Structure 1
């Protein structure tokens, strides 16, 4: 008698509420197509994209969904699951995935890994309204974040790219303040795919920048169409994971820690900002530091835009001529 494979079953702790439509559509399609074998013969619309220790990325149609360990915070298109090492579960790249509205099933080595969504907390990316921020608040936030810098690159390519990153980031700052949409788009595009890492440093800088620009009340939002166009055009210049992260950021959605940083900016809680920035700094080897570089860039440009607006709307002081 052939032994029956016992599935590994885990229950998600939380998941991005925006995934509900993606999972529902995929489940309806799977029901219409029939069995997993039929899905495989049709080209596997849902399959494992990549496997890492703490994350399995699943491609559902054209949506990249991360099944992430609990030590990773909530994020767009992410399901947080109590699994410490995905590689030990026998999940491999290109394995088929079955999707329903309440679970995701990954075909592993001789068994299935069933991720149940029933009872999981639904996460929604919180927006932070920057409308009331003044120049002084932005200056104070910049002073706090100055202490969170990147460590040295770890590869020869990283070292070679470092000078270009500095030069192109400075160029992007100038264009954000003084250039038109076309040159802003070109300057942003020059950063995409530049640097080392699964998400290159240039992409991470842009992630921090566009995330803050996409928050309500940001004057920098006037540059968002050009930045979003650069991200769309740069799709082939970087990896899928990095492109997806950038696309979410351009919609004002990022990891929960970035939302907490934006919240501390609005509330003026600088101690909280330091604590959250320390947590962001731990993302990857350089990703967190590069994201913070992008946030500093956004804050710096936002401060300049607000100072210019204030100067333009302040009436000139009347000169008083003494009467004899």
Structure 2
């Protein structure tokens, strides 16, 4: 089974993604749509794929604590039988701050992968949201690739070295289309601070990459924001996204941030952003630069 993600895709919350949005994203030239936080039965995925003709859909991610792997496997087969070559199951271990059931994530992920094996989900049909070395090693052994989130190109380089040349590597990167650096950082900061600077999995990974406690304090330092958010005009953003490819990525999942973004009131809330004309105008501008 071969899944062609293409060089760039769009990341959106599953609960806010409609078939019309998927159709627009495909028409702009993006080859993959990533949906965050889907239910374990992948409800709504069929409709998004049905509304498009070639768009690949990936989950980024399906949280392993929010459903049985047997149910995920059954849903995977339902989707892939209808839309062969157009679906990739991205899974992740979530965060202790958001998951009551959270326990040793590596052991839990291994157990979940065992369940997917039992359900007949092929290794190449699944990806792991791997950040740290142990999870990257597990990904190299038992998944078709990695879908790391909130990572700069420096992480992509390390991930490629850990995964080897064959695995698919598709990091996510946030984008603010604004040539004014100070204003762009102001737009990005609420999206980074809530919830990510309050989630130990992300802060540990960022410290592993050389960011200090001072970088992660408060609203995040300029250095941090500049590393995890590509901002500037379209050519500048395009060059920043290309840094992931130069570091070893096969694909980059783009998440546009605008002033319409709604920050998390609490860590338990789902991720929210108003997907309006402003957001799609940014994706259209980027598409003209990238494709």
* TM-score between the two structures when normalised by the length of structure 1: 0.26
TM-score, normalisation: structure 2: 0.28
Greater gyration radius: 1
